[in-house]
Chain A
Amino acid sequence: MAGRVLVVEDDDRLAEYISRGLLEQNFTVDRAATGRDGLFLATDAQHDVVILDRMLPGMDGMAVLKAMRAAGVRTPVIILSALADTNDRIEGLTAGADDYLGKPFSFAELLARVQALLRRDKGGPAQAEAAVLRCGELELDRLTRQVRRGSRKIPMQPREFRLLEYLLLHAGQVVTRTMLLEAVWDYHFDPGTNVIDVHISRLRRKIDDGEPEALLRTVRGAGYMIAAG
């Protein structure tokens, strides 16, 4: 799973924290402290993901991103920004970013998003278009909109269906609450407390209750993961 990540961040301590976390996950990490250096390293196109701070000395993150895209570098980019309201997010995404994360963030959130981008880049498209998504004996048919586990047919509300579909598309991968909220509900704010947890609990009751193996797991301090075996 591991790959090569470029971290463009001018705050040494934050860059250190991100790099150390990624190294622990067996990623190879390159670091740049200015926009100019970041752009220079990124145009090599040797990286699997670029983590780009938005406010950088000299050349700011948005300029780096635009220059990268103009130079034909297709490497997925996650923007980190202290400016995290919806306008900034949209501005970032329309400039060619693949994801956008507001500061401060938890490392688990960043890691989950980096992994989601890696997965999407490596053989993701085939899965994204698959008609039937599977995890162990759990099957979700995207055409007939039916879910079954083994021989048991599981009735689903439309939202539960989309929730499970998203989890299955990211099977074996940690998915955070924020990622779910953005992808399944299209909200970009924190609805507070444990709104998403309760949705997951409901879904879990439907697919895992009475089964010998639990497929939908909680990853402490990070989010959720659906995986078999």
Chain B
Amino acid sequence: MLRRLASSTVARLIAAIFVLQVISGGAAIGLLRAKMLQVIDLDRTRQIVDLRNELLGAFYAGGYRELASAVAERRGSVSDPLLFVAVSGHGKPVLSHLAAVPQVAAGDRPVRIRAYHASGGPPAEALALAADLADGTHLVVGILTTPDRHFDLAFVEALALVIVLTAGLALGGAMLTGLVVSRRAHAIAETAEALAAGNFAARVESSGFGDGFDHLGRQINLMAERIDGLVSELQSVAGGLAHDLRSPVARLRAAIETAQAAVPEGAAQDALQLALSDAEVLEAMLAAALELARLESGAMADRRAPLEVRALVLDLAELYEPLAEQTGVELVASGVPATVLGDRELLSRALANLIDNALKYGGGRIMVRTVPAEEAVVIEVEDDGRGIPAADRERALERFTRLDNARTRPGAGLGLATVAAIARLHGGSFSLGSGDGGRVGDAGGGQAGGLVARLRLPLV
């Protein structure tokens, strides 16, 4: 499920959405950070301007002495450990929270500097404002800005959280969208599959959203209506044709049988017997052609039910075994049990066709078996006769094809085409190969190993 989702269109769509969400989330966080830093900077500026004004107040009240003592005793705002003050110009400078006097030129606006804090360590980032007073006193006030890093860390954390949350939501969304999309796509595909299998009553249900899926469903339903109409038409044409052709044949046969009852043994009786067997051949060909036409149009009720294939094979082998023995052919049935969704009557007919062929054209040994395959089971009928050359095998499956060695034998040339049609109705396939373990399309003739007919059916 996940693997299929990953390779799907939905997954690509979701990946794009994910990237866009991360980008927009990141941008919002970046903007927020800039705004917050701006606010904080304003606040800091106000703090140091206030501190400077407070100290200037002390200076104007008591001159340098008052200023120096306010700083030394850390009165008022000076006590804030993040704020620092340096007063120089009169001998030894007076410092608060500083290890050295920072080099700052006097000005109205705070500047970014690096200051050595009293607690030691490397110089720290700070914002400072300097003023030169009337008696030559140089006053520097400032604030440490090191906590900026903490902000940045917090923002990185927030960004990571956004990515993780977005990824989770995107994956959840992908699963949900994927489920919804694939459920609807599969519903449509299943309808198409049912139609292909001959169930022309199958229709796609509308969700009522009027979206692309509904459009596709409507178009498939329209197509199904059309196919349904054509097939019913074909069915009535086939039925009419059957009636039109079979009734004269029935009358022909009736006439021959009536004549047979009236004619004594002799030349006339022999001729009538020949005519009767020809009428029977005509009947059989007509029946086979109509049957094939119906099979290929898929115009039949779906009577498939779970069916154990080995039992089917053993039943057919049991039916043909006495005949094989009488013809001097060894008929062996074997294989693994496997269950398919199948029409017993049609599959039996297909297998009977193959065994009958093997009895007619094969050698002294016929092997019928079920062989497990990938998500399928293969019914193999192998003989040790002359086989069919690789070049002729495809042609042998076409209707009315009779290969040279079959010309002298009765049959309509519809047998293998019928088997192939039955295989298709079951969602399977039919192929011919040579008996020496080769596959269809092998170079060289089938002379050595006889013929293997393979009827492949998907498992339930």
Report which A residues bind B (CB closer than 8 A): 11, 13-14, 17, 20, 55, 82-87, 90, 102-107, 159, 185, 187-195, 198-199, 201-202
Contacts and interface: CB of A to CB of B under 8 A. Distances in A.
A77 B75 CA distance: 122
A60 to B, nearest CB: 11
28 contacts: A11-B247, A11-B250, A13-B254, A55-B239, A82-B242, A82-B246, A82-B247, A86-B346, A87-B301, A90-B303, A103-B246, A104-B246, A104-B253, A106-B257, A159-B318, A187-B349, A187-B352, A189-B345, A189-B352, A190-B284, A191-B320, A191-B352, A192-B356, A193-B356, A195-B322, A198-B323, A199-B322, A202-B322
A83 B300 contact: no
Contacts of B290: 85
Binding site of B, secondary structure by majority: helix, strand, loop or mixed?
Answer: helix
B375 to A, nearest CB: 28
B50 interface: no
Interface residues of B, number: 39
Interface in B38-61: none
Given A17-B258, A104-B279, 11 more contacts: A11-B250, A13-B251, A17-B251, A17-B257, A82-B246, A85-B291, A103-B246, A104-B254, A185-B315, A192-B352, A198-B325
Interface string B337-361: 0000000011011001000100100
B186 interface: no
Given A82-B247, A104-B249, A193 B345 contact: no
B249 to A, nearest CB: 5
B418 to A, nearest CB: 10
B287 A198 contact: no
B180 to A, nearest CB: 39
A191 B243 contact: no
Contacts of A102: 287
Contact of A187 (B255, B284, B325, B345): B345
B283 interface: yes
A195 B294 CA distance: 26
Contacts of A107: 254, 257
A17 B300 CA distance: 32
Interface in B311-333: 315, 318-320, 322-323, 325-326
B322 A106 contact: no
B278 to A, nearest CB: 13
Contacts of A20: 258
Nearest to A10: B247
Contacts of A14: 247, 250-251, 254
B345 A103 contact: no
Contacts of B320: 191, 195
Given A104-B249, A194-B323, A84 B254 contact: no
In order of increasing CB-CB distance, the 9 nearest A-B pairs are A104-B250, A17-B254, A198-B322, A82-B246, A82-B243, A82-B242, A198-B323, A189-B349, A103-B250
Nearest to A12: B251
Nearest to B353: A192
B315 to A, nearest CB: 8
B402 to A, nearest CB: 16
A42 B279 CA distance: 33
Contacts of A199: 319, 322
Given A20-B258, A87-B301, A198-B326, A187 B250 contact: no
A193 B253 contact: no
B345 A188 contact: yes
A189 B239 CA distance: 19
Nearest to A20: B258
A17 B257 CA distance: 9
Contacts of A82: 239, 242-243, 246-247
A199 B319 CA distance: 8
B254 A103 contact: no
A11 B301 contact: no
A178 to B, nearest CB: 13
B243 A106 contact: no
A103 B249 CA distance: 9
Q: Which of A191, A194, A202 has the most CB of B within 10 A?
A: A191
Contacts of B284: 190
A187 B345 CA distance: 6
Contacts of B326: 198, 201
Contacts of B252: 104
A194 to B, nearest CB: 7
Given A82-B243, A85-B300, A102-B287, A193 B323 contact: yes
Given A17-B258, A55-B243, A198-B326, A185 B253 contact: no
A71 B345 CA distance: 33
A69 B243 CA distance: 25
Contacts of B287: 84, 102
Contact of A195 (B250, B251, B255, B319): B319
A86 B250 CA distance: 20
B237 to A, nearest CB: 12
A191 B326 CA distance: 16
A105 B249 CA distance: 10
Interface in B233-274: 239, 242-243, 246-247, 249-255, 257-258
B428 to A, nearest CB: 19
Contacts of A194: 323
A189 B322 contact: no
Contacts of A86: 303, 345-346
A190 B250 CA distance: 17
A87 to B, nearest CB: 5
Contacts of B294: 85
Nearest to B344: A186
A195 B323 contact: yes
Nearest to A55: B243
A48 to B, nearest CB: 23
B169 to A, nearest CB: 54
A187 B253 contact: no
Interface in B64-116: none
Nearest to B315: A185
Nearest to B320: A195
